[in-house]
Structures are given as structure tokens and as C-alpha cells.
Amino acid sequence: MSLLTDLEAYYKLDEASGNRSDSVGSNTLTDVNTVPGVAGIINDGADFESSNAEHLSTSTPFTTATTDFSISMWYKPESIGAYQSLIQNGRQANFWNILITSGGVFEFFEDNIAEYPSTSTLTAGNWYHLVAVKSSNGAGNMQYYVNGASAGTASVGTITTPTTAAYLGAYTANGSSFVYYTDGILDEVGIWSRSLTSGEVSDLYNSGAGLGYDDFGGGGPAAQTARRGVVMMM
């Protein structure tokens, strides 16, 4: 199956500043408080400073899927010690988040109801490929991956349909009061309305080099490496 299948939104975050475009559709992210572009995993990424309340927003959820969906991103935390919301889908009574806790734990947070932690703890200054895969397969229906490897499971209950808005780099319940700002660099953020397989997660991690949107339709990791101008030894 192609990684383009059921891909609902994808943000390369290659822009130097300003709004960030959606490579899949028209769900453009609006720049709030000037999020700059810096070197990322593939080309540039978005560098969020929590002290300046920087984030990106859109008036439409990334996906309305509730039983099967996946979130993939690269993240390099610049600090650990406060909750950080990397991505929020929806708001008010209908939303979920991918968070980093004050202790650096990667987790899924649903509708102000419950936190579902992975088994992985992040440290500042390192790049991580983070993936959360929600499926309809009962117990253990949230599968986490960090740097291509399993990082535990969680049993997530019924998820309400996300509505109204979505954000990168901040948390809000009502859309006017924001907290849990990200302090670090996000890159290559993708949202699917299906469950990615472990093989697809491995492809996206690509041995730490990352697999970009432009390569989803043509050749996989080898094409990605070739595009970067790296000679592969056969």
C-alpha cells in the first residue's frame, strides 16, 4: 500500500517563515508569533520557542477519523521540564493531542479525559521520529513507535470526532487560552486516516534519514537517499 493512501494532511515545514502549506490539500497552517524555519531532518523544519508562545493553527481538523488513524513526525526537543503539545487535532470537547510530558514521556492525550503514555522518554537535543497508530483492534489499540522501534501500547477508549480547529506547537481547550507550548523543532508531520503498518513506520524512519512526502510515490528509502546525492554501495 502506498504511503499516499488515506494521507489526509502533510506538512514538510520547509518554509523559512510565515504560513506553512499542506502538501496533500489546502489545510494551510497560519503562523502565530513568528515560527522560524531552521535545519530539519529533510530540508528545513519549524523551530518553536515556548517562551514566545509560537505555534501554527488551522480552522479545520487534520482528520475526523476516530477508530483508525496515524500521526508521524520528527521532533527535536530543545528543553524538557514542562508539558509540550506537539499536535492538537480539534478543540473544545472534541480533540486529541500528541504530548511530551514534563518528564519527557511521549503520549496520546484525549479530550481532557485521559493520558495514554508510551514507554519512551525523550531527552533534549536529540532528533526523534515519533509515530502513534490508533486501530480498531480492541485492547492495546494505540501502538507507539520511536525511531522505528516499538515504544509500547495503550488501550484508548472511544474518541469523539474532532471539530473546529487544529494546531502544531500548542494546546488549547477553547481556542483562546493556550498552554503547553512546544520548545523544539518539528519536521515532516503527517496524518493518516488509517493505521500504518510497522513496515511503513520503518520506511518513514529510514534508518534515521527520514522519508519525505516527495518520495512516497517513487522508490522508497533508496530514492530518498539518491535524491540527497548520497552514493549507495551495492
pLDDT digits (tens, 9 = 90+) for 101-122: 999 999 999 877 789 999 999 9
CA–CA dist 21, 124 (Å, integer): 27
Bigger pLDDT: 165 vs 227 = 165
The mean per-residue pLDDT over the stretch 41-52 comes to 98
Return the number of other C-beta atoms located less than 10 Å from residue 6's C-beta: 18
pLDDT tens sequence across 189-209:
999 999 999 999 999 999 999
Region 125-147: what's the mean pLDDT?
Answer: 92
Residue 121 vs residues 88, 103, 106: alpha-carbon distances, Å: 20, 7, 6
Question: Any idea what DSSP says for residue 195?
Answer: P
Q: Which of 138-147, 165-174, 219-228 has the highest mean pLDDT?
A: 165-174
CA distance 191 to 203: 15
**Residue 98 pLDDT grade (very low, low, confident, very high; cuts 50, 70, 90):** very high
Is 2 part of any domain? no
Other C-beta atoms lying within 10 Å of the C-beta of residue 2 = 9
Domain contains 165: yes
| Residue 189 falls inside a structural domain | yes
The residue behind cell 494546531 is 167
Is 228 a member of any domain?
Answer: no
Domain count, the chain: 1
Domain that holds residue 59: 7-217
Residue 197, in any domain of the structure = yes
Q: Distance (Å, rounded) from C-alpha 100 to C-alpha 22?
A: 24
In a domain, 157, yes or no: yes
CATH number of the domain within which 63 lies = 2.60.120.200
In degrees, rounded to 5, the angle at the alpha carbon of residue 199 between the alpha carbons of residues 137 and 183 is 85
Please report which confidence band the pLDDT of residue 140 belongs to, taking 50, 70 and 90 as the band edges: confident
Residue 222 has pLDDT above 60, yes or no: no
Residue linked to cell 522508497: 220
- To the nearest whole number, what is the mean pLDDT of the chain? 91
Q: Would 98 be classed as within a structural domain?
A: yes
Q: How far apart are CA 162 and CA 215, in angstroms?
A: 29
Percent of the chain with pLDDT over 70: 91
Report residue 85's pLDDT band, with 50, 70 and 90 as the boundaries: very high
Cell numbers for 125, please give them.
537535543
* Cα distance from N-terminal residue to C-terminal residue, the chain: 26
In this structure, is residue 13 part of a structural domain? Answer: yes
